[in-house]
Structure 1
Amino acid sequence: MALALLVPGGRGQLGRDVVAVAPADGLVHAPSSAELDITDARVVADAVAAFAANARDAGLRPVVVNCAAYTAVDAAEADEERALAVNATGPGLLAEHCREHDVPLLHVSTDYVFPGDATRPYEPSDETGPRSAYGRTKLAGERRVVEAWDRSWVVRTAWVYGAHGPNFVKTVARLAGERETLTVVDDQVGSPTWSLDLARGLVALAGSVAAGGSPARVLHATGGGETTWCGFARAVFAELGLDPERVRPCATGDFPRPAPRPAYSVLSGKSWEEAGLPPLRPWREALSVAVATKAVP
C-alpha cells in the first residue's frame, strides 16, 4: 500500500526535499508553517483529521513527517518561549492528534540535545544535556512526542545543508566570491548532512513504520564520517575549484556567539542501520554530488 505524507514545515529546506523524493504513487501535503501553525491546537486537530481521512479514503497509509522547527540557534537564547512553542508544544500537539487518528509521526531533532563533550559518536541511548536554549527546546519536543504517542519516532540529525534556504555551504560559497580568505572554526566536529539524503532516509523510515517496522523510537541519521567546520569549508572550496588553503582555521573562542556550540556533534548511525534503513552516504561524497548537480550552493 502506498504512502500519504503530511509534512508540516513543508516549504523549508528539509520539507521541500521530502516532497521531492516522496513516492510518486502516493500523496503528499506539505504546508508551510504559515499554512499549518503547529502551535495552534485547533489548526493541528483539523489538519491531522482531514489528512488521515483523505489518506484512508484513497487507500493510502498516512504518516506525518514533522519538518517544522525554530532553528535560529542564537536568536533562541533571547526568544526561548517562542522556540519552545515551535520545537516542543507544536510537536506535542501533532503527536496527540496523530494518536487520536492512529497515524505514525516522524519528528526531526538535532545533535544539540547532547552536551557536545563526547569522544565517540553519540548513540540514541546516551545521556542528553543541551547547553543552549535551542537544544533545550528540541529535547523537550522529543520527550513530548515520545510520551504522547507510542507510534512516534525521533530522528536526530546534524549540520544540514541543501538547495533551499540559507545554510553553511551557501554562505561559504558566497563569501568565497567576496573575500580573499575565510576564517572558520576548527575545533567543532560533526557530520555534514545533505538534506536530500536525509529526506530519502525519512521517506524510507516512513515506509517502514507504516508497515509496522523500526521498533527503535529514537534514531540518528547524518552523513557518514566527520570533519570540522573548517574542514567542511575547505571541502566546499575544493568542490568549487577554489584553493582550500584560502580557508584559515581558528578556535571557537575567537568568534563568541550568543548560543554555545557543541564541540563534538558526531551521531552514530548504528541505530539507523539496525532498523534496516539505508545509511546516508559519506558526507564528502554527498557534498561532491550536491555541488556537481548544482543542488548547492
Structure 2
Amino acid sequence: MPGRLLITGLSGTLAPHLARTAASAGWEVLGWDRRRIPTDDAVAVAAHLQASRPDAIAHLALGPTAWASGLAEYAARQDLPLLFTSTAMVFHHQPDGPHHPGDERTAQDDYGRFKIVAEDAIRAACPTARIARIGWQIDEVAQGNNMLATLDHWQREQGRIAASRCWIPACSFMPETAMALLGLLQDEAVAGRVVHLDSNAESALSFDHLVAALARRFDRQGWRIEVTEDYRHDQRLLDPQPGRIAALASRLAQKP
C-alpha cells in the first residue's frame, strides 16, 4: 500500500514520529507548508492537493475546520484513506469514564469542543475517514504537548509536581501511537470508524503512580511528587478491539 502520504502538523509533536514511522515502512512523506498554502484558503487547499496527489492523508495539525473538511472532501472524491487524530478531551470528567467510542461527547472546554466539531465535519465530508482519539503523549525528547516535558516544567516552575491519585489519564508513548496510527491508516477494516488508542486503558495507572514510574524510568531524581486528590477522572479510552497499542505498564518496564 505505501505511496505518497500527506501528513499535516510536521512542525508539531506527534506528526514527526508518524513521519519517521511511515518513511521506514516505505511511504513517501509529504508535508504542508502553511506559509505557502494558507489553510483558510479553500482554493489554495484544493489546488495544492491536486498538485501533490497524495495516496493517503493523515491530518494531525490544528487548524480551521474548513481545512479539515477540504482534506476530507478530497479524500472522499479520490477514494483515499484519511486519518484524523482527535483527543480524549472530547469527554468531560462528568460523567466519568472509562470512555468508549460511541459514548456521548461531553467536552466543556474550547479544545475538546473544537475537536468535536472537527470530527463531525470530517465524517460528514468523508464517511470512510478513520477518527483516532488519543490521550496525553509521552516522549523522552519531544517538546510541545509532551507529558515528560510538562512534568519537567512543573518541577522547574513550581518546585513540585502535583499528581492526583484520583486521575487515571489516557496516555501513550509517541512511538507506539505513531505505529498504531499508521496501522489504522492502512487497515481497510477500520474505515469509517472511531478508534480509541490508549496505552493506559488496560494498565489503569493513576497519575501519581505514572509520574513516579516516569521519574524512575527517566532518572528524574529531582522531581518532588506531591500526591493530591484534586482531579477525579477515569479518562481511559477503551476500544472494543484492544491490542492496537502496547500496554503502558509493560512499556514503562522496558529500559530507555
Normalising by the smaller structure, the TM-score range is 0.7 to 0.9
Deviations 1:164-190 (A, max 9, x none): 223221232455578764323333222
Consecutive unaligned residues of structure 2, counting only runs of 5 or more, are none
**Contact preservation (8 Å) 2:142, 2:149:** no
Q: Distance in 2 between matches of 1:174 and 1:285?
A: 26
Q: Does 1:68 align with 2:61?
A: yes
After TM superposition, list the pairs within 5 Å mapping 1:230-241 onto structure 2.
Answer: 230-241=208-219
**Contact preservation (8 Å) 1:12, 1:164:** no
**Hey, what does 1:185 align to over in structure 2?**
164
**Hey, what does 1:80 align to over in structure 2?**
none
Q: Distance in 1 between matches of 2:37 and 2:17?
A: 18
- Partner of residue 89 from structure 1, selected from 29, 46, 66: 66
Matched letter for residue 138 of structure 2:
Y
Deviations 1:123-166 (A, max 9, x none): 11111111111111100000000011122111101111234223
Q: Does 1:219 align with 2:219?
A: no
Q: Distance in 2 between matches of 1:24 and 1:111?
A: 28
SS in structure 1 at match of 2:29: strand
Matched letter for residue 13 of structure 1:
T
**Contact preservation (8 Å) 2:65, 2:118:** yes
Offset at 1:3? 3.2
Deviations 1:228-259 (A, max 9, x none): 33332212211134569931112437xxxxxx
- What is the aligned-residue RMSD (CA, Å)? 2.7
Consecutive unaligned residues of structure 1, counting only runs of 5 or more, are 56-61, 70-85, 254-261
After TM superposition, list the pairs within 5 Å mapping 1:106-121 onto structure 2.
Answer: 106-121=83-98
Q: Distance in 1 between matches of 2:148 and 2:136?
A: 10
SS in structure 2 at match of 1:252: coil
CA 1:183–1:116 in 2, change beyond 3 Å: closer, same or farther? Answer: closer
After TM superposition, list the pairs within 5 Å mapping 1:190-209 onto structure 2.
Answer: 190-209=169-188
Q: Does 1:8 align with 2:1?
A: no
Question: How many aligned positions are there?
Answer: 251
CA 1:47–1:182 in 2, change beyond 3 Å: closer, same or farther? Answer: same
CA 1:93–1:244 in 2, change beyond 3 Å: closer, same or farther? Answer: same
TM-score by length of 1: 0.74
**Hey, what does 2:48 align to over in structure 1?**
47
SS in structure 1 at match of 2:108: coil
**Hey, what does 2:118 align to over in structure 1?**
141
